[in-house]
Amino acid sequence: MGIATNAGQPGIAASVALEFAKARRKHLWLASLGLLAFQFAWLVAGASNTVRHNPDFDGILYMLPQLNAIVLPLLCAIVASTVTDVENRANMWKLLLTMEDARRVVAAKWAACLLILAVVVGVQTAGVAAVAYGIGFQQNLPGPALLARYALSTFVVCAMLITIVQAVCLATANQFAPMIVGVGLCFLGLFIAYLPPVFSWFVPSAYFFVCRLVDGAYDASQHMRFWAAPFPAAGLAVCVAVTVAAFIASRRAFAAREL
């Protein structure tokens, strides 16, 4: 056993890899893919019904944010709380922060969560493409550009949610708190659809609606009509701003905390 002589902390990539090592046996991937499978099953069931009387895939892209607003906040809460709470359960902060800078640990955990979410969004986008091309839709099939825009907007909203939940995790050692936030966001995202659109700007999980790529409304004959929405630059900008602000504030607060 040699004297510890490494020049500094591990690099950020190594720190992120360590977060995955710590999350071993926490079944993070299983939980993420399980929720995704549940959402996919729901999507397939809905799409199979829809395609019989309306072969326009825009209807599915219009419906997807609603599914995301229900499932993804919960998934974000599970991922962020698992990755962060692992230190609380292990009474590890007191040791960890003698070896690694607090800001580095927070950044590594955040990056690990984002990586998981990136994979989840990627798999979900692939699932959406499979539904579009596999179930028999004829109109407005999504091309690579639209799928990329969908993946980007979904990921940016997820990043905001995960940053908020992580901030809660870092502020409290109780894993119950982030789960409450996750479930709360999930319900808010579900019911915000019944309120005027302006309310969506004040609920993080409702940004799946704010950033939707297809809009729709009932026409005079009470049929839903869909159209491509403009790129949700304002909504995404708000998400990015909230994400950056929440990340910086929570990281600063955590680094200043005494153990």
Partner 1 sequence: MTSQVLERPAGTVEGAPAPAASGESLAVSTRGLTKRYGDATVVDDMDLEVPEGAVYGFLGPNGAGKSTTMKMLLGLVHASGGEAVVLGREMTPDNRLEVLREVGSLIEAPSCYPHLTARENLEIVRRLRGLPESCIDEALSVVRLDDAKTQGKLVGHFSLGMKQRLGIAVALMGRPRLLLLDEPTNGLDPSGIHEIRQLIREMPERFGCTVVVSSHLLSEIDQMADYVGIINKGRMVWQGSMADLHARARRWLALRTTDNAAAAGVLPGTVADGEWLRIKAVDDATAGQVTLGLARRGIGVVRLEERSESLEDIFLKLTGMEATL
57-86 residues in contact with partner 1 (CB under 8 A) are 86
Q: Does 30 bind partner 1 (CB under 8 A)?
A: no
**Contact present, 92 and 208 (Cβ < 8 Å):** no
**CB 96, min distance to partner 1, A:** 7
Binds partner 1 by CB under 8 A, chosen from 21, 30, 145, 220 = 21
Backbone angles phi, psi at 206, to 5 degrees: -80, -5
Interface stretch with partner 1, choices 13-21, 72-80, 114-122, 217-225 (CB under 8 A): 13-21
Question: Would you count residue 100 as binding partner 1 (CB under 8 A)?
Answer: yes
Query: Does 6 help bind partner 1 (rule: CB under 8 A)?
Result: yes
* Buried/exposed 220-230: b ≥16 CB within 10 Å, e otherwise: eeeeeebeeee
Residue 111 binding partner 1, by CB under 8 A: no
Q: Is 12 in the site for partner 1 (CB under 8 A)?
A: no
Could you say which of 12, 37, 45, 90 contacts partner 1 (CB under 8 A)?
90
225 contributes a contact to partner 1 by CB under 8 A: no
What b/e sequence results for 124-135 when a residue is b if at least 16 CB atoms lie within 10 Å of its CB, and e otherwise? Answer: bbebbbebbeeb
Binding residues vs partner 1 (CB under 8 A): 1-6, 8-10, 14, 18, 21-22, 24-26, 86, 89-92, 94-101, 258-259
